[in-house]
Amino acid sequence: MANVIAVIWDFDKTLVDGYMQDPIFTDYQVDASAFWKEVQALPAFYQREQGVRVNQDTIYLNQFLKGAKRGGRFEGLNNAKLAEYGKRMNFYRGVPEIFSLTKQMIEEDSTFKEYDIRVEHYIVSTGFKAVIAGSSVREHVEAIWGCELIEQETEDGERIISEIGYTIDNTTKTRAIFEINKGIPQYPEIDVNARMDEEVRRVRFENMIYIADGPSDIPAFSLIQKGGGSTFAIYPARDEKAFRQVEQLRRDGRIDMYAEADYSEGTAAYMWISNTIKDRARRICERERNKFSDAVSGVPRHLTD
Protein backbone atom coordinates (compact mmCIF):
# COMPACT_ATOMS: atom_id res chain seq x y z
CA MET A 1 0.00 0.00 0.00
CA ALA A 2 2.21 2.78 -1.31
CA ASN A 3 -0.40 5.49 -0.68
CA VAL A 4 0.29 5.88 3.07
CA ILE A 5 2.22 8.84 4.43
CA ALA A 6 3.64 8.10 7.89
CA VAL A 7 4.52 10.91 10.31
CA ILE A 8 6.77 9.41 13.00
CA TRP A 9 7.21 11.34 16.24
CA ASP A 10 9.62 11.23 19.14
CA PHE A 11 7.84 12.10 22.42
CA ASP A 12 9.88 13.79 25.15
CA LYS A 13 10.84 17.36 24.20
CA THR A 14 9.22 16.81 20.79
CA LEU A 15 5.53 16.59 21.62
CA VAL A 16 5.96 17.25 25.35
CA ASP A 17 7.61 20.30 26.91
CA GLY A 18 10.12 18.45 29.08
CA TYR A 19 10.08 14.78 30.02
CA MET A 20 7.15 12.43 30.60
CA GLN A 21 8.63 11.55 34.00
CA ASP A 22 8.25 15.12 35.31
CA PRO A 23 4.86 14.63 37.03
CA ILE A 24 6.13 11.39 38.58
CA PHE A 25 9.05 13.27 40.11
CA THR A 26 6.65 15.92 41.38
CA ASP A 27 4.34 13.43 43.12
CA TYR A 28 7.16 11.41 44.64
CA GLN A 29 9.14 14.54 45.55
CA VAL A 30 12.20 13.41 43.61
CA ASP A 31 14.66 16.01 42.37
CA ALA A 32 14.54 15.53 38.58
CA SER A 33 17.93 17.12 37.92
CA ALA A 34 19.63 14.97 40.55
CA PHE A 35 17.87 11.84 39.23
CA TRP A 36 19.04 12.30 35.65
CA LYS A 37 22.55 13.23 36.80
CA GLU A 38 22.63 9.98 38.75
CA VAL A 39 21.40 8.02 35.72
CA GLN A 40 23.99 9.61 33.43
CA ALA A 41 26.75 8.49 35.81
CA LEU A 42 25.66 4.85 35.86
CA PRO A 43 27.34 3.63 32.61
CA ALA A 44 30.76 4.78 33.81
CA PHE A 45 30.08 3.44 37.32
CA TYR A 46 29.17 -0.09 36.18
CA GLN A 47 32.04 -0.19 33.70
CA ARG A 48 34.50 0.86 36.39
CA GLU A 49 33.12 -1.29 39.22
CA GLN A 50 32.10 -4.44 37.35
CA GLY A 51 33.45 -4.14 33.82
CA VAL A 52 29.87 -4.28 32.53
CA ARG A 53 28.48 -2.17 29.72
CA VAL A 54 24.95 -0.83 30.07
CA ASN A 55 22.62 0.87 27.63
CA GLN A 56 22.75 4.55 28.52
CA ASP A 57 19.36 5.17 26.88
CA THR A 58 17.44 2.66 29.01
CA ILE A 59 19.44 2.21 32.23
CA TYR A 60 17.05 4.70 33.86
CA LEU A 61 14.40 1.96 33.86
CA ASN A 62 16.29 0.06 36.55
CA GLN A 63 16.11 3.09 38.83
CA PHE A 64 12.33 3.09 38.54
CA LEU A 65 12.09 -0.67 39.05
CA LYS A 66 14.21 -0.56 42.20
CA GLY A 67 12.37 2.51 43.40
CA ALA A 68 8.94 0.89 43.03
CA LYS A 69 9.66 -1.58 45.84
CA ARG A 70 8.58 -1.02 49.44
CA GLY A 71 10.52 1.88 50.91
CA GLY A 72 11.76 2.99 47.47
CA ARG A 73 11.49 6.50 46.14
CA PHE A 74 8.79 5.40 43.64
CA GLU A 75 7.06 3.00 46.00
CA GLY A 76 3.96 1.38 44.53
CA LEU A 77 4.52 2.56 40.95
CA ASN A 78 2.75 0.35 38.42
CA ASN A 79 1.50 0.48 34.85
CA ALA A 80 -1.94 1.75 35.83
CA LYS A 81 -0.34 4.70 37.61
CA LEU A 82 1.94 5.34 34.64
CA ALA A 83 -1.13 5.50 32.39
CA GLU A 84 -2.70 8.03 34.77
CA TYR A 85 0.42 10.17 34.51
CA GLY A 86 -0.20 10.22 30.78
CA LYS A 87 -3.19 12.50 31.45
CA ARG A 88 -0.83 15.07 32.94
CA MET A 89 1.51 15.52 30.01
CA ASN A 90 2.50 19.11 29.25
CA PHE A 91 2.07 19.02 25.48
CA TYR A 92 3.26 21.83 23.26
CA ARG A 93 0.60 24.06 21.75
CA GLY A 94 -1.18 22.46 18.82
CA VAL A 95 -0.96 18.92 20.23
CA PRO A 96 -2.96 16.76 19.69
CA GLU A 97 -4.86 18.90 17.14
CA ILE A 98 -2.10 18.63 14.53
CA PHE A 99 -2.70 14.88 14.27
CA SER A 100 -6.35 15.20 13.24
CA LEU A 101 -5.82 18.34 11.15
CA THR A 102 -3.14 16.78 8.96
CA LYS A 103 -5.26 13.68 8.41
CA GLN A 104 -8.31 15.77 7.59
CA MET A 105 -6.31 17.98 5.22
CA ILE A 106 -5.57 14.98 2.99
CA GLU A 107 -8.94 13.26 3.40
CA GLU A 108 -10.85 16.34 2.24
CA ASP A 109 -8.78 16.94 -0.90
CA SER A 110 -10.66 15.42 -3.84
CA THR A 111 -7.50 14.60 -5.81
CA PHE A 112 -5.81 12.86 -2.90
CA LYS A 113 -9.05 11.07 -2.09
CA GLU A 114 -9.19 9.72 -5.64
CA TYR A 115 -5.91 7.91 -5.01
CA ASP A 116 -6.94 6.84 -1.49
CA ILE A 117 -3.98 8.65 0.05
CA ARG A 118 -3.97 8.71 3.84
CA VAL A 119 -1.86 10.09 6.68
CA GLU A 120 -0.92 7.98 9.69
CA HIS A 121 0.86 9.05 12.87
CA TYR A 122 3.22 6.93 14.98
CA ILE A 123 5.16 7.56 18.18
CA VAL A 124 8.56 5.97 18.83
CA SER A 125 10.00 6.80 22.25
CA THR A 126 12.62 5.60 24.72
CA GLY A 127 10.16 6.51 27.48
CA PHE A 128 7.31 4.59 29.09
CA LYS A 129 4.79 3.24 26.59
CA ALA A 130 2.13 3.17 29.34
CA VAL A 131 2.41 6.94 29.85
CA ILE A 132 2.01 7.67 26.14
CA ALA A 133 -0.90 5.23 25.86
CA GLY A 134 -2.61 7.00 28.75
CA SER A 135 -2.25 10.45 27.19
CA SER A 136 -4.54 12.43 24.89
CA VAL A 137 -2.52 11.54 21.78
CA ARG A 138 -3.30 7.83 21.96
CA GLU A 139 -6.52 8.03 19.95
CA HIS A 140 -4.75 9.90 17.15
CA VAL A 141 -1.90 7.47 16.45
CA GLU A 142 -1.79 4.09 14.75
CA ALA A 143 0.88 2.60 17.01
CA ILE A 144 3.25 3.41 19.87
CA TRP A 145 6.72 2.07 20.57
CA GLY A 146 8.17 2.59 24.04
CA CYS A 147 9.59 0.76 27.02
CA GLU A 148 7.19 -1.77 28.54
CA LEU A 149 7.40 -3.06 32.11
CA ILE A 150 6.26 -6.34 33.69
CA GLU A 151 4.50 -6.23 37.05
CA GLN A 152 4.54 -8.46 40.11
CA GLU A 153 2.20 -8.72 43.06
CA THR A 154 3.56 -7.68 46.45
CA GLU A 155 2.86 -9.36 49.79
CA ASP A 156 0.17 -6.74 50.34
CA GLY A 157 -1.60 -7.72 47.13
CA GLU A 158 -0.53 -4.59 45.30
CA ARG A 159 0.98 -4.63 41.82
CA ILE A 160 4.27 -2.89 41.09
CA ILE A 161 6.60 -2.69 38.11
CA SER A 162 9.32 -5.28 38.60
CA GLU A 163 10.95 -6.33 35.32
CA ILE A 164 11.78 -4.95 31.90
CA GLY A 165 9.61 -6.44 29.21
CA TYR A 166 10.56 -4.47 26.10
CA THR A 167 12.89 -1.58 25.47
CA ILE A 168 13.45 0.97 22.76
CA ASP A 169 16.68 2.95 22.62
CA ASN A 170 17.83 5.58 20.17
CA THR A 171 19.39 2.98 17.88
CA THR A 172 16.59 0.42 17.96
CA LYS A 173 14.14 3.15 16.99
CA THR A 174 15.27 2.20 13.49
CA ARG A 175 13.72 -1.25 14.00
CA ALA A 176 10.39 0.43 14.75
CA ILE A 177 10.72 2.39 11.51
CA PHE A 178 11.28 -0.83 9.57
CA GLU A 179 8.19 -2.28 11.26
CA ILE A 180 6.18 0.70 10.02
CA ASN A 181 7.74 0.26 6.59
CA LYS A 182 6.63 -3.37 6.40
CA GLY A 183 3.20 -2.82 7.96
CA ILE A 184 3.74 -4.83 11.14
CA PRO A 185 1.42 -2.67 13.31
CA GLN A 186 -1.42 -3.66 10.96
CA TYR A 187 -0.13 -7.19 10.24
CA PRO A 188 1.76 -8.37 13.36
CA GLU A 189 2.27 -11.85 11.93
CA ILE A 190 4.94 -10.39 9.60
CA ASP A 191 8.55 -11.04 10.67
CA VAL A 192 10.44 -7.75 10.57
CA ASN A 193 13.60 -9.61 9.53
CA ALA A 194 11.93 -11.49 6.69
CA ARG A 195 12.80 -10.46 3.15
CA MET A 196 10.13 -8.29 1.54
CA ASP A 197 10.28 -6.65 -1.86
CA GLU A 198 10.15 -2.86 -1.77
CA GLU A 199 7.05 -2.63 -3.94
CA VAL A 200 4.91 -4.59 -1.47
CA ARG A 201 5.98 -2.77 1.68
CA ARG A 202 3.12 -0.85 3.26
CA VAL A 203 4.84 2.51 3.83
CA ARG A 204 7.71 3.57 1.60
CA PHE A 205 10.61 5.35 3.28
CA GLU A 206 10.16 8.23 0.84
CA ASN A 207 6.68 8.72 2.34
CA MET A 208 7.97 8.98 5.92
CA ILE A 209 8.46 12.16 7.95
CA TYR A 210 10.47 11.86 11.15
CA ILE A 211 10.17 14.56 13.84
CA ALA A 212 12.39 14.75 16.92
CA ASP A 213 14.35 17.18 19.05
CA GLY A 214 18.05 16.47 18.84
CA PRO A 215 21.26 14.47 18.23
CA SER A 216 20.03 11.36 20.05
CA ASP A 217 17.75 10.71 17.05
CA ILE A 218 20.53 10.78 14.46
CA PRO A 219 20.20 7.01 13.70
CA ALA A 220 16.51 7.50 12.84
CA PHE A 221 17.17 10.73 10.95
CA SER A 222 19.82 8.96 8.87
CA LEU A 223 17.63 5.98 8.02
CA ILE A 224 14.74 8.17 6.90
CA GLN A 225 16.98 10.43 4.83
CA LYS A 226 18.71 7.49 3.18
CA GLY A 227 15.31 6.20 2.09
CA GLY A 228 14.28 9.55 0.61
CA GLY A 229 12.02 10.66 3.46
CA SER A 230 11.97 13.98 5.32
CA THR A 231 13.39 14.95 8.71
CA PHE A 232 12.44 17.80 11.01
CA ALA A 233 13.63 18.99 14.43
CA ILE A 234 11.95 20.95 17.19
CA TYR A 235 13.41 23.27 19.81
CA PRO A 236 11.69 24.99 22.79
CA ALA A 237 11.02 28.71 22.50
CA ARG A 238 13.85 30.94 23.75
CA ASP A 239 16.15 27.97 24.38
CA GLU A 240 19.41 29.16 22.79
CA LYS A 241 21.26 25.92 23.50
CA ALA A 242 18.55 23.82 21.85
CA PHE A 243 18.40 26.25 18.91
CA ARG A 244 22.16 25.94 18.30
CA GLN A 245 21.84 22.18 18.54
CA VAL A 246 19.19 21.86 15.81
CA GLU A 247 20.95 24.42 13.64
CA GLN A 248 24.07 22.25 13.82
CA LEU A 249 21.99 19.23 12.82
CA ARG A 250 20.81 21.18 9.77
CA ARG A 251 24.34 22.24 8.86
CA ASP A 252 25.50 18.66 9.19
CA GLY A 253 22.74 17.53 6.83
CA ARG A 254 21.00 15.45 9.48
CA ILE A 255 17.66 17.26 9.17
CA ASP A 256 15.88 19.13 6.42
CA MET A 257 14.55 21.92 8.62
CA TYR A 258 13.65 22.89 12.19
CA ALA A 259 11.27 25.24 13.99
CA GLU A 260 10.15 26.41 17.40
CA ALA A 261 8.03 23.87 19.30
CA ASP A 262 4.54 25.16 18.58
CA TYR A 263 2.27 23.10 16.34
CA SER A 264 -0.66 25.53 16.23
CA GLU A 265 -2.12 26.26 12.80
CA GLY A 266 -0.09 28.89 10.98
CA THR A 267 3.13 28.37 12.92
CA ALA A 268 6.40 27.47 11.20
CA ALA A 269 6.27 23.91 12.51
CA TYR A 270 2.68 23.36 11.42
CA MET A 271 3.31 24.84 7.97
CA TRP A 272 6.44 22.78 7.32
CA ILE A 273 4.81 19.53 8.42
CA SER A 274 1.55 20.12 6.51
CA ASN A 275 3.34 21.31 3.35
CA THR A 276 5.67 18.31 3.42
CA ILE A 277 2.71 15.95 3.77
CA LYS A 278 1.00 17.64 0.80
CA ASP A 279 4.20 17.40 -1.23
CA ARG A 280 4.42 13.66 -0.54
CA ALA A 281 0.77 13.25 -1.48
CA ARG A 282 1.35 15.05 -4.80
CA ARG A 283 4.29 12.76 -5.54
CA ILE A 284 2.12 9.72 -4.92
CA CYS A 285 -0.50 11.08 -7.33
CA GLU A 286 2.14 11.75 -9.98
CA ARG A 287 3.62 8.29 -9.58
CA GLU A 288 0.21 6.64 -9.91
CA ARG A 289 -0.63 8.71 -13.01
CA ASN A 290 2.68 7.74 -14.57
CA LYS A 291 2.04 4.07 -13.82
CA PHE A 292 -1.36 4.32 -15.50
CA SER A 293 0.11 6.17 -18.49
CA ASP A 294 2.85 3.55 -18.89
CA ALA A 295 0.27 0.77 -18.70
CA VAL A 296 -1.92 2.39 -21.34
CA SER A 297 1.01 3.11 -23.64
CA GLY A 298 1.77 -0.60 -23.73
CA VAL A 299 -1.73 -1.52 -24.94
CA PRO A 300 -2.30 -1.86 -28.72
CA ARG A 301 -3.88 1.31 -30.13
CA HIS A 302 -7.01 -0.43 -31.49
CA LEU A 303 -7.86 -1.55 -27.94
CA THR A 304 -7.80 1.98 -26.56
CA ASP A 305 -9.68 3.79 -29.39
59's CB contacts (< 8 A; 6+ apart) are 39, 42, 43
Instruction: Please calculate the CA angle 155-161-163 and round it to the nearest 5 degrees.
Output: 105
CA 229 – CA 193 distance, rounded (Å): 21
CA 159 to chain centre: 28
Q: Give the residues of the chain that fall short of pLDDT 70.
A: 1, 292-305
Strand order across the 143-153 sheet: 159-166, 143-153, 118-128, 4-9, 208-212, 230-235, 257-260
Give the per-residue pLDDT at 104.
Answer: 97
pTM here? 0.93
Q: Are 168 and 147 in contact (CB under 8 A)?
A: yes
What is the distance between the terminal CA atoms of the chain, rounded to a whole angstrom? 31
According to the model, what pLDDT value does residue 292 have? 62
On whether the CB atoms of residues 238 and 212 are closer than 8 A, the answer is no
Separation of alpha carbons 31 and 35, rounded Å: 6
Q: What is the pLDDT of residues 128-178, one digit of tens each?
A: 999 999 999 999 999 999 999 999 999 989 999 999 999 999 999 999 999
CA atoms within 13 A of residue 300's CA, in its CB half-sphere: 2
pLDDT value of position 215: 94
Residues 46/111, Cβ–Cβ less than 8 Å = no
Contact predicate 235/212, CB 8 Å: no
